[in-house]
Structure 1
């Protein structure tokens, strides 16, 4: 699943690079080619500050889009850390409270963490709500926690145990809710359109100097591709791909 996600992202980036490289070549050909030079001459005289308008708008839209994506990544990462820490809290309580050492609370916690890694992590890149296997282990953990809470009655240990499970439940729901990020296609159209305007405005500013036009166009194309490609690396899933959230916090539980 990881390899498929990476291949999808690399394909998207390759298409973006090919598209903007083609547009840069086409723009350079139109403004530099002797046969098209006469058509471009009436446009000569555009001043350099004109370039800043599409560039600023492109930067603003790219920043807003990237902020939205990375905010989702942050929420998903916090959910994973919160869930794993609460599982470790339950294990710690199960091993430190004498009356809980003979039950299955420690075992159920570790089985749930192991199932997240082995069974559910792959489903987090698809449209599945959860792994049925992991959900079964989650229900088993819930049963063991409630049984332990009842046996401890209304004590500080029982409240700590119950609160830890509540945190696991909330974090799990958050982790599953952020299985994919839906970026509206209009946002992508806007950022691609503004990137094209940046290329065109750079060419208009350097009409009188063909070599400078080509150089500036190369730099502008590389500049707009960097943020666009970085955002494209988040298209598949927050849990799979080149930029992916690690499941290492759950691995720490099994050590």
Structure 2
């Protein structure tokens, strides 16, 4: 199977590493709008060849879109315009509903599989690619009833090859769940980073006093706005609902402090500790 990775950063590059190791693919083609990223991906051996998008569309049996979601929304219809029978186009973006709506009535819609592997780091670019990034993680597969059986089979083979587990849902369900378990975490991390930087204007305390708890909580604030602003735009409504729910919990915490209600605060924290049963 010839696979084209469109976008050679963390997600595309990590897929390339694990697909090569799996032996499922015969050739890995790379496409990237940044010539430096393309050259580096080739140097790292992530892909066998760097090609133009049109060449990838002609030669690949499967195309994996690992670019920001606004770029996916633009590229996907044109890729489906030229999609041939037996070819599979898979998007790996962090939002689904708006992308799905962009091609819902496309005559070649069945060649498309909507997917979101729930894995990543705060790093970007080809050097961020990690072997084993997806092992035992979950890929969310959306609206598969709209995809051809052979396209679904190809997608499942590729995801199985890199170690992903499967969950199935609608695009609307995906965006609601992703707002809480992925997107809200980034909102909180960005806000925490800004709050601490504003308070510690001299920059003294952050590098010299911050411990592991702060570092792990704020890690996501290092994530690129090029990736995340389009996610916030596309999933705005669900993220606003998640932020409102979070803000209510912060308000409760604040009242406990203001009213010196330590018993209520103790119970509140114990309730939060139940996350241990889920993770």
TM-score (norm 2): 0.23
| Higher Cα radius of gyration | 1
TM-score (norm 1): 0.25
By percentage of residues, which structure has more strand? 2
By percentage of residues, which structure has more helix? 1
